[in-house]
Amino acid sequence: MVFPELLVILAEWVLYRLLANSCYRAARKLRGYGFQLKNLLNLSKPQPLNNSSHHQHQQQNQQSQHLQDSLNPLFPSITKYQEPPDRNRACSVSSDHHHHHHTLVCDIDGVLLRQHSSKHFHTFFPYFMLVAFEGGSIIRAILLLLSCSFLWALPQETKLKIISFITFSGLRVKDMDNVSRSVLPKFFLENLNLQVYDIWARTSYSKVVFTSLPQVIVERFLREHLNADDVVGTKLQEIEVLGRKFYTGLASGSGFVVKHKSAKDYFLDNNNKKPSIGIGSSSSSQDHIFISICKEAYLWNEEESMNKNNTLPRERYPKPLIFHDGRLAFLPTPFATLAMFIWLPIGFVLSVFRISVGVLLPYHVANFLASLSGVRITFKSHNLYNGPPEKGKSGVLYVCNHRTLLDPVFLTTSLGKPLTAVTYSLSKFSELIAPLKTVSLKRDRKKDGEAMQRLLSKGDLVVCPEGTTCREPYLLRFSPLFAELTEDIVPVAVDARVSMFYGTTASGLKCLDPIFFLMNPRPVYCLEILKKLPKEMTCAGGKSSFEVANFIQGELARVLGFECTNLTRKDKYLVLAGNEGIVR
């Protein structure tokens, strides 16, 4: 019985999805071809001798433009959008009047966000995978990936229902909240559609997003980062078990949102007013119906933008992307996710090998074997201090910015001499596998200062005064305690790059950070040891500890091309994990 049903579904897909869509596109182009034939006939007619060449050239340009417009007779391209002449007047009206009379509507799927996944699965598949992997588990992510084997044979609406059920069924509401706050914004910002965002950012109209997607995936980003005034999406059912809330994976209320119906209910039935501007995707027949209720309607055509750089530059992000969480460093499209799962066992074995050679073998041998396994280390030094400190003098204090827990490890192996690293929070597992001595600080200024002073009297010390890692090109505020300990201070600029997994986390298991970093096929570590700090720039030269810390932060930012901030460890963990980042 199953096989005949599959044949029926396949036949339906061929007849109604393939043939119907082909006929629809052909019908849309017939009119364009008719205009093209007419224009060719007109061009073939002999022109009067008294027509000037300038007039002929102008007429040909008009015909060419008319032909281009006729190829898409329903709605103009988004490139034809122009700012309204009464923009200043629109800005001066009251917020209530503005909401009702001047509104921009669009979808996030395929309009505000660029499409990266095949429509045979679902264009929003990568973001469902992020929720399944980061908020759920690896088993849930595998099940979602396996669903791709039959998604191609189903209608778009059915695809959305299936991947929503797999992603959300049994998922804790709290976990989804963490993913929407700390994981998804990074990928949404990197995949914003530049052409649509230009209109979104420039217009002073109220902005309402209608989408069939689960509202919990997109609402926080749209409201907090893009300042959307309202979001209308599919609401999911929730159940409470032993005081904890879970999703059932099913839509609540009237089911999954149908955009044009929801827009009519939102605008026409309530106040009988049409939205001013609507933007849709040229490849979505539903979007054509959706934006038809608007006074002005435009289509974003993916084919027109294929040869253009449609990526939003980092400096134009509506909010700076400083903190984000999650393990995946790539957008998990179906094929990229499949490649990741194939690599996973290989990467784990490779990570164990890299950790073993770093712990058990001499530094120069460990560096050689690490490079053979794919680890790339670039090391540049303007200062080298070797050997223990002279009697009565302290060791050298290496001050690094903090990219991963492996910063002191790569510095030690690159220098080829043992260092002692001080940390604020380090898991027992990370302390066990570290190939150098580590000492945990107590967050007591006096006791921490005394402990670091004792360690400096015995040898060189490495400290990361940011107190926590930062993935993006920003430096957090430097704690000034280190500047009071010695005048022998050497700044070290550190950067780390990955392609598959991040080696840091705020809400996950920190003991797995080194493993995930070393599971990357070709992780990159860049270290540059700067010149020793001049005495006049230290506390011994009359500078305050805050001035020394700020100076070193600025120097490291200059070398790395990063930006300084006043944010701290506490700010990061409160944003990403809702705690102060203490590892117990």
Each residue of 14-50: pLDDT tens digit? 444 444 444 444 444 444 444 343 443 443 444 443 4
> Is 49 a domain residue?
no
CATH number, residue 394: 3.40.1130
**How many other C-beta atoms lie within 10 A of the C-beta of residue 54?**
8
* Mode of pairing for the β-strands spanning 489-497 and 524-529: antiparallel
| Alpha helix stretches (DSSP H) within 45-137 | 53-70, 87-92, 95-101, 125-130
Q: Which of 285-299, 378-392, 543-557: highest mean pLDDT?
A: 543-557
Residue that terminates a domain, selected from 281, 316, 351: 316
Specify the DSSP class assigned to residue 34: H
> Is 213 a domain residue?
yes
Considering only residues 361 and 11, tell me which one the structure prediction assigns the higher pLDDT: 361
Tell me: pLDDT of 239 over 60.
yes
Percent of the chain at pLDDT exceeding 70: 79
Considering only residues 82 and 278, tell me which one the structure prediction assigns the higher pLDDT: 278
> Is 278 a domain residue?
yes
Co-location of 364 and 414 in the same domain:
yes
Co-location of 369 and 291 in the same domain:
no
Residue that terminates a domain, selected from 267, 301, 316: 316
Co-location of 353 and 292 in the same domain:
no
Q: Which of 130-139, 385-394, 412-421: highest mean pLDDT?
A: 130-139
Co-location of 346 and 469 in the same domain:
yes
Element (H, E) at 523: none
Considering only residues 435 and 318, tell me which one the structure prediction assigns the higher pLDDT: 318
Co-location of 308 and 361 in the same domain:
no
Considering only residues 432 and 494, tell me which one the structure prediction assigns the higher pLDDT: 494
* Mode of pairing for the β-strands spanning 244-251 and 236-241: antiparallel
d(CA 471, CA 453): 30
- pLDDT the model gives residue 369: 94
Question: Burial, 250: exposed, middle or buried (Cβ in 10 Å; 0-12, 13-18, 19+)?
Answer: middle
Candidate from 51-65, 429-443, 509-523 with smallest mean pLDDT: 51-65
> Is 50 a domain residue?
no
Considering only residues 302 and 557, tell me which one the structure prediction assigns the higher pLDDT: 557
Co-location of 383 and 500 in the same domain:
yes
Total tally of structural domains belonging to the chain? 2
Co-location of 374 and 293 in the same domain:
no
Co-location of 270 and 373 in the same domain:
no
Percent of the chain at pLDDT exceeding 90: 53
- pLDDT confidence of 178, banded at 50, 70, 90? very high
> Is 515 a domain residue?
yes
* Residue that has been written with the tokens 């805050």 in this structure: 546
d(CA 169, CA 79): 41
Give the sheet arrangement for strand 397-400, strand by strand: 376-381, 524-529, 489-497, 397-400, 461-463, 420-423, 437-440
- pLDDT confidence of 387, banded at 50, 70, 90? low
Per-state percent for the chain, helix, strand, coil, to nearest 5: 50, 15, 35
- pLDDT confidence of 268, banded at 50, 70, 90? confident
Cα 259 to Cα 107, 216, 263, 287, 295, distances in angstroms:
8, 17, 6, 8, 17
Element (H, E) at 448: helix 445-458
> Is 72 a domain residue?
no
Co-location of 346 and 309 in the same domain:
no
Which pair of structure tokens corresponds to residue 440? 């945990």
- The average pLDDT across 501-525 equals 93
- pLDDT confidence of 162, banded at 50, 70, 90? very high
> Is 91 a domain residue?
no
> Is 229 a domain residue?
yes
- pLDDT the model gives residue 120: 58
- pLDDT the model gives residue 269: 67
- pLDDT confidence of 216, banded at 50, 70, 90? very high
- The average pLDDT across 549-570 equals 95
Inter-residue contact 484 to 545 (CB < 8 Å): yes
Average pLDDT, the chain: 82
Co-location of 272 and 205 in the same domain:
yes
CATH number, residue 244: 3.40.50
d(CA 429, CA 464): 20
Co-location of 269 and 138 in the same domain:
yes
Considering only residues 488 and 117, tell me which one the structure prediction assigns the higher pLDDT: 488
- Expressed as residue numbers, the domain containing 287 is 100-316
- The average pLDDT across 272-290 equals 85
Co-location of 153 and 266 in the same domain:
yes
Inter-residue contact 181 to 324 (CB < 8 Å): no
Cα 50 to Cα 46, 55, 58, 180, 323, distances in angstroms:
12, 10, 15, 68, 69
**DSSP reduced 3-state for 364:** helix
